[in-house]
Amino acid sequence: MPDIRITLLPDNVTVDVPRGESLLRAAHAAGVHITSSCGGQGTCGKCRVIVTKGSTTGGKTEKISDEEYAKGYRLACLCRADSPLEMQIPAESRLHRGGLDKPRVDKPTGRLAAPLADQILPAGGQRPVVEKNLIAVDPPTLQDNASDLSRTLRAIKKQHGLDTISVDFQAMAALPGTLREGNWTATATILHDGASRSGGPGEPRLVRIEPGDTAGRHYCVAIDIGTTTVCGEMIDLSRDQVIAEASDYNMQMKHGDDVISRMVFAQKGDGLKILQHAVTETMNGVIGQLLRDASLDRRDISHITVAGNTVMTHLLLGLDTRYVRSAPYTPAVNRVPPVKARSLGLDLDGYVYLYAMPLISSYVGGDIVAGVLASGLYRRDRNTLFIDIGTNGEIVLGNREWLVTASCSAGPAFEGGGIRHGMRAAAGAIEEVRIDPATCEPVVFTIGEEKPRGICGSGIINVVAELLETGILEPNGKFEKNVRVREGSDGMEYVLVPSERSGIDGDIVITEVDIDNFMRAKGAMYAGYQTLLESVGLTYADLDEIIIAGAFGSYIDIEKSITTGLFPDLPVERFSFIGNSSLQGARLATLSRELLADAENIGAKMTNFELADNKSFMDHYMAALFFPHTELRNFPSVMERFKNLGRTCGKKENRSE
């Protein structure tokens, strides 16, 4: 079938594709990334494009109104090219890198949790997971002509006190030339991968031998593999310092936004291979950027540590996820033996091993183990609730004696999914809203101070809290009558930004359906905390600290979150933020083999609660489907604030009618 040419605007790039190709695939082939939350299933409605020239087939669903269809709007995933054509990618459909690079405008409320590194790692006293040891090997003589390997192991034992050591074939094969090239001085790279599979100390392993002294060039990479973004750090182990940071969207995004759609994709044909390739390509890009920024050569990297949720870890390793997804929810592995990075498709030398943080269960993964490690909560007496909010809300409760965990499926609302004008935290996303209680007029603040294109997760929390505080929204999630509330295609909606001020083609609104989706998401989180607390016989009053993890978490307004019932009504001083604790944990496990062993122990000691058919969880969930909660006495500060604010905005409008 002959190729036909597609031109993408406003980028003005062209791509030749076979007739019948979907516009979504054509755009990806042209390097233009379109939001495709459902992975091209035609259900999310996020991949809208405008065909301005040429003919197409398909792409008309209930997500596109007749009026929009007449203007050329199509769902790119369902619409196929039938002739050479031109299409416009609207701003709201684009997957921007802006959110990765642009600083957010507001500082979070609440404290920043002190990094564990500052609390327990003595400066300069770490024993990293991989060491570079300078050795002076005795040259052979006729009296002592033992093998090069024997002489090398003898030198390592004598000069560095390592009695038992295994040797990688690649290092062994390099010995004769390397020892002579360095005039019997060499640098031995030795990997200590923490605990062995049986729980005891792992056996050190000689992975690389270099001529001369290269101990000063000793670098490792730590990576957080998020479902959405992949973030990396280059660590200089000779100085215990992070010298470069880089991140990018996970290229798996084009096959679905969340772990469920990725697992569905993985089960089709070559899906698993495609997803593994997508994440290793993303990691190769991030590592390439780190190398450029730190002016290093690829061969300078000695080791890589990754932390990711259970599905991301499986997909990176090329492991089958089909049993992760369905009851009784069984991951393929919990503890992953170190694996050669190159064997996974990473563009690194054969001596570089990849260590993946241990996994707890199908939905509590290495990112949470890394987060608990970074927070240090497992070393303290205080009862701490650790919350990582995303599509899956992961919760850990514990102290130095015990740790329990659960994952609750919150749905995509916190990431802008299932929300009419929801979007990721990228440039143009509304992240803060203030509503004037006298006029009911909103003022919106966007990331990057650009024209508003949609609402990100922190913006949704903010707008729901403001609507509640002004009385425009009732605690049952229904709008009061108000000049800014109108009947829309999904029922009643509140106009946040009129089309003349928005950066998209139309008004930006928040609908009752959006609010219902948010209510379910926050209800699932709250029910999760309550179920875990009950499981260990505690109440909210017993909590000494609440740590909010995740890049998104750092931008949540604590008070507003309490107003909506997303967080328990506790003094704001008990909350703290830790940022990307998954990446921090991966870094710590690289810097210190003691902390890597701690990570293994956290993995072994954490008890997982499955909430999927837990009766108590379901009861708590139903009770949480109200703002802030049906048990109002559990939210005294919110009740007090509602009383003081009067919540008169909507009611005034009613009276004036």
Residues within the interface to ligand FES (CB under 6 A): 36-38, 40-47, 75, 77
Identity of the residue numbered 157: K
Q: How far is the CB of 59 from ligand FES (least distance, A)?
A: 9
Q: How far is the CB of 43 from ligand FES (least distance, A)?
A: 6
Cα dihedral 616, 618, 623, 624 in deg (nearest 10):
110
Hey, what are 85's tokens? 């054509």
| Identity of the residue, 25 or 208, whose beta carbon is nearer to ligand FES in the bound complex | 25
Does residue 328 have a cis peptide bond before it, meaning omega lies within 30 degrees of 0?
yes
The candidate with the shortest Cα–Cα distance to 153, out of 119, 188, 178, is 188
Residues 6+ apart with CB under 8 A from 362: 310, 324, 325, 329, 330, 331
Residue with tokens 């001596």: 351
Residue with tokens 């994440």: 279
Q: How far is the CB of 522 from ligand FES (least distance, A)?
A: 24
Q: How far is the CB of 40 from ligand FES (least distance, A)?
A: 5
Cα dihedral 279, 27, 38, 556 in deg (nearest 10):
70
| Identity of the residue, 62 or 401, whose beta carbon is nearer to ligand FES in the bound complex | 62
Q: How far is the CB of 272 from ligand FES (least distance, A)?
A: 20
| Identity of the residue, 45 or 90, whose beta carbon is nearer to ligand FES in the bound complex | 45
Distance, in Å, from the CA atom of 99 to the CA atom of 555, rounded to the nearest integer, reads: 13
Q: How far is the CB of 316 from ligand FES (least distance, A)?
A: 24
How far, in Å, are 329, 471, 481, 482 from residue 474 at the CA level? Answer: 38, 6, 10, 12
| Identity of the residue, 65 or 147, whose beta carbon is nearer to ligand FES in the bound complex | 65
| Identity of the residue, 47 or 463, whose beta carbon is nearer to ligand FES in the bound complex | 47
Read off φ and ψ for residue 336, nearest 5 degrees. -100, 125
| Identity of the residue, 46 or 453, whose beta carbon is nearer to ligand FES in the bound complex | 46
Read off φ and ψ for residue 498, nearest 5 degrees. -70, 155
Q: How far is the CB of 450 from ligand FES (least distance, A)?
A: 24
First to last CA, the chain: 64
Q: How far is the CB of 231 from ligand FES (least distance, A)?
A: 25
Q: How far is the CB of 63 from ligand FES (least distance, A)?
A: 7
Q: How far is the CB of 77 from ligand FES (least distance, A)?
A: 3
| Identity of the residue, 48 or 192, whose beta carbon is nearer to ligand FES in the bound complex | 48
Distance, in Å, from the CA atom of 393 to the CA atom of 408, rounded to the nearest integer, reads: 5
How far, in Å, are 124, 154, 204, 277 from residue 161 at the CA level? Answer: 20, 10, 12, 41
The candidate with the shortest Cα–Cα distance to 353, out of 184, 537, 194, 138, is 194
Q: How far is the CB of 455 from ligand FES (least distance, A)?
A: 18
Q: How far is the CB of 61 from ligand FES (least distance, A)?
A: 8
| Identity of the residue, 68 or 450, whose beta carbon is nearer to ligand FES in the bound complex | 68
Hey, what are 552's tokens? 């998104």
| Identity of the residue, 33 or 218, whose beta carbon is nearer to ligand FES in the bound complex | 33
| Identity of the residue, 45 or 58, whose beta carbon is nearer to ligand FES in the bound complex | 45
Residue 361 DSSP symbol: S
| Identity of the residue, 40 or 128, whose beta carbon is nearer to ligand FES in the bound complex | 40
Are the CB atoms for 149 and 175 separated by under 8 Å? yes
DSSP per-residue codes, 206-239: EEEEEES--TT--EEEEEEE-SSEEEEEEEETTT
The candidate with the shortest Cα–Cα distance to 208, out of 197, 222, 218, 221, is 218
Q: How far is the CB of 39 from ligand FES (least distance, A)?
A: 7
DSSP per-residue codes, 522-549: HHHHHHHHHHHHHHTT--GGG--EEEEE
Q: How far is the CB of 41 from ligand FES (least distance, A)?
A: 6
Q: How far is the CB of 569 from ligand FES (least distance, A)?
A: 37
How far, in Å, are 241, 510, 546, 553 from residue 118 at the CA level? Answer: 13, 43, 19, 22
Q: How far is the CB of 192 from ligand FES (least distance, A)?
A: 45
Are the CB atoms for 8 and 30 separated by under 8 Å? yes
Are the CB atoms for 341 and 352 separated by under 8 Å? yes
The candidate with the shortest Cα–Cα distance to 46, out of 77, 22, 11, 23, is 77
Distance, in Å, from the CA atom of 196 to the CA atom of 194, rounded to the nearest integer, reads: 6
The candidate with the shortest Cα–Cα distance to 148, out of 227, 206, 82, is 206
SS3 category, 567? coil
| Identity of the residue, 225 or 253, whose beta carbon is nearer to ligand FES in the bound complex | 253
| Identity of the residue, 417 or 459, whose beta carbon is nearer to ligand FES in the bound complex | 417
| Identity of the residue, 64 or 551, whose beta carbon is nearer to ligand FES in the bound complex | 64
How far, in Å, are 47, 52, 87, 228, 349 from residue 14 at the CA level? Answer: 19, 14, 10, 27, 36
| Identity of the residue, 8 or 395, whose beta carbon is nearer to ligand FES in the bound complex | 8
Are the CB atoms for 101 and 162 separated by under 8 Å? no
Distance, in Å, from the CA atom of 226 to the CA atom of 309, rounded to the nearest integer, reads: 7
| Identity of the residue, 35 or 362, whose beta carbon is nearer to ligand FES in the bound complex | 35
